[in-house]
Structure 1
Amino acid sequence: MNARVTEPKASEATVVNIPRSEKGQPPKAEAPSGQASPPPAAAAEPKPGRKGGARRLVLMVAVPLVLVVCGGYFWLTGGRYEGTDNAYVQQAKVSLSADIAGRITAVNVAENQHVTAGTVLFTIDPEPYRIALDQANAALASARVNVAQLKVAYGTAQAQLKAAEATLAIRQQAFDRKNALVQQGVNSDATLDDVKLALEQAQSAVDAANQQVAAAIAALGGDPAIETDRHPAVLAAQAQVEQAERNLSKTTVVAPADGIIANVSSLNVGQFVAAGTTIASLVETDGTWVEANFKETQLADMKPGMPAEVEIDAYPGKLEGTVESIGAATGSEFSLIPAQNATGNWVKVVQRIPVRIKLPASPEGQLLKTGMSANVTVDTGRSTLDKLLNR
């Protein structure tokens, strides 16, 4: 519905004065009569001056510059230390086995027991080896008797040779006399047959005696004056005795070095062990080192003799060590099946080379166990700046 606007009457009209507005400003409305005028507007905040802008500019330039300078300093002075957490404590591990076969009669150690070099670990029944030693001694005595008999046989052969030579000389004289009579025509040629036959038999006896003497000399090793204990048969018998004595001594198995016995819990009295079978292990505690597997990119400045710092995960503190040697090849080269790539589908992987860190003998070193994890840091003595200057 449209509203109709009617003009006001002359008596009802009022005059309203509108003030002139400033240039660029909207006119201010006057408050209606009967109402209080609003409070004046708060003063406008002052605009930031040039001093605040300069400070901001200095900060924007100085902070990145300081960061760049500090980062460059640390980068140039760094690179001296090469570290890796791929490191493990190593100790020599000896596999213990019996050199002879036999039945165990006594076990003198327990699992994880600390032993010293020469400590008896277990014993094998010695009776069969004692009997074998007696047999070897009897064989040695028999060999000496045989050598004595050979010397007697040599003397007999010499005596027979002398007798045969004497007989030959007599037969030769008889033949010469008969032959002289035949040449003079006193006797006939038939009378030479008997003496000639006897001479030939005597010569054959001498030849046989010479062979017997040569055989006796050969039986004595080519030297009739050889000592009995230098004869080959006696030497062989002596070797058998020494072997039997060695086997008898091996019935007692002792620790080859100081260390801790492991894997001995399955060893029991009455158990039969074969020669060469591993039946226990000995972890040597005297020599301890750390094998640190460094990346191949970390070995450019690393050399034996450099100082190293070792941190063991199991114990607090640090140990001082020395780089003893650098591996001859990467760890993958000593694996059972080295990685080979003949197809061309190859992704380059940074290889690691074992570095042996020698640890000095110390009370802390006695607490280390083989296989413990470690962190190793090697001081190469050359920072990044030194490498750039000496390039």
Structure 2
Amino acid sequence: MAEADPQISQENADVQAAAPQKRSIRPLRIALMLALPLAILVAGVFYWLGLQGKVTTDNAYVKQDMVAVSSEVGGKIVDVLAHEGDMVGAGDVLFRIDSEPYQLQIAQADAAIATAQANVTAMENDTDLTGVDIAAAREDIAFARSKLERQQALWERGFTTRADYDAATHAVAQAEEAMRQAQARQTEARARLARGAAVPGTDPRIAAAQAQRASAELNMRRTEVHAPFAGRVAQADRLQAGQQVLPNLPVLTLISEDSTYVEANFKETDLAQMAPGQRAEVRFDAYPDLVLRGHVASIGAGTGSEFSVLPAQNASGNWVKVTQRVPVRIALDEASPRALIAGLSTHVTIYTEEGE
């Protein structure tokens, strides 16, 4: 028998040595294939459990109460005491408007008061009011009647003419008519001096002139525009000396930093377990390391679309259901070490399993 080929014998030995190694690699691959989906499943379960008992949204922004400050009177700005970014206190003067036109209005009102007082004095001393004309008319009536009596006696005796008798009768009628006219003028004069119930004890003309002066004084005071509350000045680019101001046209914006809160817009599907008083955490995009505690102050009375300028008309034929957002007000329970600026983006988490 011929001897076996040494090369073939060596290959058989290599195959026999590699067989156990292949059998050990196959279970490892199977374990890895099973471990990866299992790890993903476990991670998903932990993530789902982490979401239970809380709702989150990143559609939330810092809000602060703000007022557009305007002047109630028109005129030229002559003095500016507040500038962009300044902190002002309640009642501080922000700017002043030229007061000279309103000083002239006060002077005109004083003149109107003096004129009204002079007119009242003249009417009080008018002869129609004093009754002089009435007294004179009474004397004329008495004289005319006595003359008529004499003419009547002479007429009965035949010592006078019919013309003289008729003239005496006519003189009595004229005197009585003059008496009625004098009484009417006196009544009219008293009516002109009457005091109305709205301003008892004061002549209406004088009261009107006094009201005109009070209005001029009010406009004079309004030439100084004061801060309605303490806050920071913003949008003051139109606040320049020499600028012409129109009444009720905003000149600057005053932001109250003491009224900072967060308005978070949650999906309507997140509201089932949400209630005022629940604890909240607020994170800020501008300050990644800052986390502030807060609580749910209130839940909006309507969705954002309901309060929009053009609400959606879902009665149309081409209707697509969109998950609505409801504004939720988050009150901050602690002061921020960093400046909170109106409009900053935030991330809000509400813990719904905690009661009020």
TM-score (norm 2): 0.77
Q: CA deviation at 1:89?
A: 0.8
Q: In 1, distance between residues paired with 2:51 and 2:310?
A: 39
- Report if aligned partners of 2:81, 2:93 keep a CA contact under 8 Å in 1: yes
Deviations 1:208-266 (A, max 9, x none): 1122112112212367xx966x2221121112111211221222222221111122244
3-state secondary structure, aligned to 2:262: strand
Distance verdict in 2 for CA 1:72–1:169, change over 3 Å? farther
Residue 57 of structure 2: aligned partner = 84
Question: After the TM superposition, which of the residue ranges 126-135 and 302-311 deviates more from structure 2?
Answer: 302-311
Residue 309 of structure 2: aligned partner = 336
Amino acid at match of 2:227: A
Deviations 1:285-333 (A, max 9, x none): 1212211111112223433344433223333343333333322322123
Q: In 2, distance between residues paired with 1:194 and 1:363?
A: 104
3-state secondary structure, aligned to 1:246: helix
Q: In 2, distance between residues paired with 1:154 and 1:312?
A: 85
Q: Given the alignment of the two structures, is residue 195 of structure 1 paired with residue 164 of structure 2, yes or no?
A: no
Q: CA deviation at 1:143?
A: 1.4
Work out which of the residue numbers 270, 276, 280 in structure 1 matches 2:252.
280
The within-5 A match list for 1:1-391 is 71=45, 79-153=52-126, 156-172=129-145, 174-175=147-148, 178-179=151-152, 190=162, 191-221=164-194, 230-315=202-287, 316-341=289-314, 343-360=316-333, 362-364=334-336, 367-381=339-353
- Report if aligned partners of 1:154, 1:217 keep a CA contact under 8 Å in 2: no
Amino acid at match of 1:91: Q
Amino acid at match of 2:96: T
Q: CA deviation at 1:166?
A: 4.4
- Report if aligned partners of 2:282, 2:294 keep a CA contact under 8 Å in 1: yes
Q: CA deviation at 1:204?
A: 0.9
Q: CA deviation at 1:179?
A: 4.6
3-state secondary structure, aligned to 1:139: helix
3-state secondary structure, aligned to 1:331: coil
Structure ranking higher in helix proportion: 2
Amino acid at match of 1:119: D
3-state secondary structure, aligned to 2:186: helix
Q: In 1, distance between residues paired with 2:175 and 2:223?
A: 63
- Report if aligned partners of 1:293, 1:354 keep a CA contact under 8 Å in 2: yes
Amino acid at match of 2:236: V
Distance verdict in 2 for CA 1:72–1:260, change over 3 Å? closer
Larger radius of gyration: 1
3-state secondary structure, aligned to 1:333: coil
Q: In 2, distance between residues paired with 1:363 and 1:239?
A: 49
Q: In 2, distance between residues paired with 1:366 and 1:174?
A: 108
Deviations 1:13-43 (A, max 9, x none): xxx6xxxxxxxxxxxxx967xxxx999989x
TM-score (norm 1): 0.71
CA-based RMSD: 3.8
Q: In 2, distance between residues paired with 1:246 and 1:222?
A: 26
Question: After the TM superposition, which of the residue ranges 185-194 and 111-120 deviates more from structure 2?
Answer: 185-194
Q: Number of matched residues?
A: 328
Distance verdict in 2 for CA 1:342–1:139, change over 3 Å? same
Identity across matched positions, percent: 40
Amino acid at match of 1:330: T
Q: In 2, distance between residues paired with 1:247 and 1:382?
A: 55
Distance verdict in 2 for CA 1:166–1:116, change over 3 Å? same
Q: In 2, distance between residues paired with 1:313 and 1:163?
A: 97
